[in-house]
Structure 1
Amino acid sequence: MTATTLHADLLGRQDPQMADVLAGEARRQAGTLQLIAAENFTSPAVLAALGSALVNKYAEGYPGSRYHGGCEYADLAERIATERACALFAAEHANVQPHSGSAAVLAAYAALLRPGDTVLAMGLPYGGHLTHGSPANFSGRWFDFVGYGVDAETGLIDYDEVQQLARAHRPKAVVCGSIAYPRHPEYSAFREIADEVGAYLIADAAHPIGLVAGGAAPSPLPYADVVCATTHKVLRGPRGGMLLCGAELAERIDRAVFPFSQGGAQMNSIAAKAVAFGEAATPAFGSYAHKVVANARTLAGALADQGFAITTGGTDTHLITADPAPLGVDGRAARQRLAAAGMVLDTCALPYGDQRGVRLGTAAVTTQGMGEDEMHRIAVLFGRALREEPSRTRTEVTELALQFPPYGQ
């Protein structure tokens, strides 16, 4: 089975137009390097669950208390998913219904806060997510967000500043987590700060949760009141979200998901989440998670050798943020040139600067089987694409990608 034939063969006769679209996307994924930090390749088993008969089932509510009949297998699928999530992360309670990471954060806020409450979170210019107070997002419209930043020289969180802001603003909740911070948060420090001002601690672990599952990152579970996460990224599950918490907040979290912020659960996605949790509990996934980090550290060092300025001097995770300015381009121009060469990544804000940098991750290429030798090669290709005509690099990028097909030959 290949990524190209996985979906296109099923649709070819009935809807050739859409079959062509899916085949084209499969070719794009197989022939370019997927370095977006939030993306990965699911297993064939996860894809099978997504395309299962559960896609047809309406299952509003929770197992044993649905608003629709015929939910016996939907209930079983969700119970398996929540049981596996609790076992995987040593959590007392899991809610696997959120449709996305943002939906999970919305539910956490709805469970713990009221409109107008003050929330302390990482500022967007330093790596905070839209749900951490963006004025374009519900979070910035409904709550009074105060942003903390990072040290101007090291790029690391200044916990003294976080404490001072907490004392000055007395937030109802403190949020730790980021989409562009490549180091592990000190969850114990955040817990102490939250306790001092009587605040809830919400961990937005959308990016590191897969590393947590594989034992390659510290867990926020012993410290946070609620953990919000996605089930894709490093975790390699379907696109979606989940919430983890203690038993005392279980009912509030569940009601904040349904009926407050969502209707019917996507049962095929919940079944796929269960499959991913089962895969993440294996020794093979633990080896994978550690290899993701090793690859990221190697790639960060190799990019520095190519002239990139690496934020915080390196990474503890799958994620790297870097400034390409020493190579004569900003983040937006770098993304365009790298895309033209077949290397797909994102831009990101750089602390205390007007220019944007680049954000990339090693989860997908590690799933494909690439190792540290390939990370050195990718860094060289980065440098070549930014110094020369990108089209000259494209052939070599395609050759490298095709050596590691995401779904086999």
Structure 2
Amino acid sequence: EGEGTLLAQKIFNADHAYLQPHSGADANLVAFWAILAHKIQTPEVEKLGKKSLDELTPSDYEEVRKLLVNQKMMGMGLGSGGHLTHGYRHNISSKIMQSQSYEVDPKTGWIDYGALAAQVKEFRPLILIAGYSSYPRKIDFSKMKEIADSVGAVLMVDMAHFAGLVAGKVFEGVYDPVPYADIVTTTTHKTLRGPRGGMILCKAPFRAMVDKGCPLVLGGPLPHVLAAKSLALKEVDTSAFKDYARQIVLNAQALAENLQRAGVRLLTGGTDNHLLVIDTATSFQLTGRQAETVLSEAHLTVNRNSIPHDPNGPWITSGIRVGTPAITTLGMKEKEMAEIAAILVSLLQAAKPITENGALSRSKAEADPQTLQKVRGRIVDLLSHFPLYPELVI
């Protein structure tokens, strides 16, 4: 764990790193607790002339507790590309604090920093969360920091999806969150290519509280996962990883360009990162769930995804999210993105909703057997040139 901590601090140029969270959601919970403890709990305990919660009377403790759960947080809305843990109503994050979402511009799909600044000044959150799970553009963290500072808010960044692009020096300057954020959370899988787990980077003032994530939020560390995280960070700290990170974005942009040439509508008109979101409702007259289902039948793994102001809601959805990290790891480059785009388009164009109980299903779709078989063959042929373990002869 110690070696991994030092590696993370070096790679991200962070004051401190904490590797124990078991997931990105756990990392966010630890971050919320650390912020509440540092900004609210500790000052209130000191005002009462005490050193710890244990010294408070039951009535004094209850007053502090009420303050803790009466704070505000603001994160990107789920339909705009945010994450469940950024204050979504059905998630615990909106239960422990009052939450309000900010949305992307309805016309462009991009973050409107001016509108966000006005919303933050009106709502005045303790925590402003920047980061996303399905927003295909970079975020200017210098602007996010300026907006947070305007109301004295803590800037927390969830870079679970793009941590590898930060580590690989693809996102630099104002697009690197670490110099600007008070606390940064991430997963260690996704673009970092490590084991499933979480990690926190923070400025020095938050170190003591973050390090108490276990046992005050987490039940205990997972030593075998900590070892895997450290090994993954060793791989991140190489020039080969930087090449990989650059290729992720090149592949995503090539995939986007090929899809758009075929008439597919993409949110924001393209991508700056590792993912893109296809508006399947507009492009193929399919819900996101229908598109996900038919692609799965051909052994293409994508996930349905909400789009801003989604008429089909967050369960059925009107889009799908497609990412390039895994296929980039296999060694695919821009040339292969043209073939993948063609495969996606050919299958989705052939897909039709199925009828269940006399009505068209909003969840299921199918393509004719000939098209499905042809697409599967193209996928097998493509993958035959990029074996998962090329050193093994099976």
Query: How high is the TM-score relative to the length of structure 2?
Result: 0.82
Identity of aligned residues (%): 41
1:404 corresponds to which residue? 386
Query: Do structure 1's residue 286 and structure 2's residue 242 form an aligned pair?
Result: yes
Is the CA contact 2:35–2:206 (under 8 Å) kept in the aligned structure 1?
A: no
Q: Please list the CA deviations of residues 317-342 of structure 1 after superposition, one character each: whole Å capped at 9, or x if unmatched.
A: 11111112322322111111111122
Q: Deviations over 1:286-345 (max 9, x none)?
A: 001000000000001111122220111111111111112322322111111111122110
Residues 342 and 398 in structure 1, CA contact (< 8 A), matched pair in contact too: no
Q: Which runs of 5+ in 1 are unaligned?
A: 1-77
Q: SS state of the match for residue 263, structure 1?
A: coil
Q: What does residue 198 of structure 2 align with?
A: 241
* Counterpart among 73, 94, 97 of residue 119 in structure 1: 73
Q: Which amino acid aligns with 1:108?
A: A
- Aligned residue for 2:211, secondary structure, equals helix
Instruction: Give the whole-Å Cα distance in 1 for the aligned partners of 2:204 and 2:125.
Output: 23
Match of 1:223 among 176, 180, 192: 180
Deviations 1:162-194 (A, max 9, x none): 111111111101000110101111101110011
After TM superposition, give the deviation of residue 246 of structure 1 in Å.
1.5
Q: Once the 2 structures are TM-superposed, how far is the Cα of residue 259 of structure 1 from its aligned partner? A: 1.5
Q: Helix, strand or coil for the counterpart of 2:135? A: coil
Q: Which amino acid aligns with 1:243?
A: I
Q: Over alpha carbons, which structure has the higher Rg?
A: 2
Moved more, 300-309 or 172-181: 300-309
Of 103, 117, 139, the residue aligned with 2:26 is 103
Match of 2:373 in 1: 391
C-alpha contact (below 8 Å) 2:75/2:102 kept by paired residues = yes
Task: State the alpha-carbon separation in 2 of the partners of residues 384 and 336 from structure 1.
Answer: 15
Correspondence list, 1:9-408, <5 A: 78-113=1-36, 114-217=68-171, 218-255=175-212, 257-324=213-280, 325-355=282-312, 356-388=318-350, 389=368, 390-408=372-390
Going from structure 1 to structure 2, the CA distance change for 1:333 and 1:391 (only over 3 Å counts) comes to: farther
Asked if structure 1 preserves the Cα contact closer than 8 Å seen for 2:74 and 2:87, the reply is no
Report the Cα offset of residue 91 of structure 1.
0.5
Summarize deviations over 1:353-389 as a string: whole Å, max 9, x none.
3142010100000000001110000000001111233
Equivalenced residue count is 331
Matched with 1:52 is none
Q: C-alpha separation between the residues in 1 aligned to 2:216 and 2:116?
A: 31
- Report the CA distance between 1:152 and its aligned residue: 1.1
Cα distance between partner residues in 1 of 2:94 and 2:73: 10
The amino acid across from 1:404 in the alignment is F
For 1:94, give the aligned amino acid: A
Residues of 2 paired with 1:338 and 1:250: CA distance?
45
Alignment root-mean-square deviation, CA: 1.1
What is the identity, as a one-letter code, of the residue corresponding to 2:7? R
Q: What letter corresponds to residue 86 of structure 1 in structure 2?
A: Q
In structure 2, what residue type is equivalent to 1:110?
Answer: W
CA contact (8 A) 1:367 1:406 kept: no
Whether the 8 Å contact between 2:79 and 2:310 is mirrored in structure 1 is: no
**1:231-258 Cα shifts (integer Å, max 9, x gaps):** 0001100000000011221001111x11
* TM-score normalised by structure 1 residue count: 0.79
Alignment gaps of 5+ in structure 2: 37-67, 313-317, 351-367
Distance (Å, rounded) in 2 between the aligned partners of 1:366 and 1:149: 31
